[in-house]
Structure 1
Amino acid sequence: MSIYALTTKLSNGEELQLNTVKDEVVLVVNTASQCGLTPQYEELETLYKTYKEQGFEIIGFPCDQFGGQEPGTDEEIMEFCTANFDVSFPIAQKTEVNGEAAHPLYQYLRSQAPADEKFDKAGVLQREDRDMVESSDIQWNFTKFLVDRKGNVVHRFAPTVEPAQIETIIEQLLADNQ
């Protein structure tokens, strides 16, 4: 099993086969338009525009499982992302990331990177120490999974880790296997 065997539907109804991102570094993020972390869209778009031509992809997965902070339709969500943050990376249809109805991609990502990661005061990535409801459950909006060019889930970042904080790691992964 790998992410490349999976598909998802984009907000416009088109099917995205994840094998189309094979050989790219991919950041998968569950998003919400009415969350205190929503401004992360701006940094995500900056990363996307900066590294897209080097083989970097972001896929946003709107999710309404955390405080009802993504109540809109797929069309409304895309309009919000475009109007407020000029988002140009793919946005999937509204998706569940936890529970029995979780999208197969999220089931896979959670199985490969069950614990959130965080930065310590020195900027070094550390595994999150807290107990989780279920070791792999997504805890909140804007949890990020980073997948290398070979399809390996190499990092899972807590929602509060801002996209700019992981830029160096993205650069390193992009430099690998050029």
Structure 2
Amino acid sequence: METLVLILDLIGTFVFALSGAMMGVRRRLDLFGVLVLSFAAASAGGMTRDVLIGATPVAALSDWRYPSVSLAAGIVTFLWNPRIERLSNPVRMFDALGLAVFAVAGTQKALAFGLAPPMAAAMGMLTGIGGGIARDVLLAQVPLVLRAELYAIAALAGAGRRRRPAPRPGCAVARWWSRPG
């Protein structure tokens, strides 16, 4: 299970880093600004979760793979953003994918640290929405989770099963939320 959580965490880190980096490129930030947004979007939710459940030092700072993945995603986005921008609404797509993956990984980690299932689901939700909040705050925007209630509901749908998180309901809600228009 530990390997699965790590893989999900790294996938979520990559796609949320892409989301943060795309927002930075759209705001015409320089490479440093794009990398800061990339790391913040990829890591803030998991770092907050780790502190709250007592998993210290936090994985995003103690395991070299997390910053490496987020910085690589930021550089890829900075260099090839016109290609990424061709995707249908890439920021929402990356947010939806990262949300689904992080909700499951965050819940699994919280359960592994002995939290009761309802609290573990809340930690899964926090893991899924924390990076988007950090990204939006750094860009001086009202966080999307405060404007679109389905964002948090998608995280809870994926995280909220009793013992085993369910990525399918979370993905379904996230997919509906990220549809064009």
Q: Is the structural similarity TM-score above 0.5?
A: no
Give the structure, 1 or 2, with the largest relative contact order (CA under 8 Å, sep 6 or more).
Answer: 1
TM-score, normalised to structure 1, is 0.33
Normalized per residue, the structure richer in strand is 1
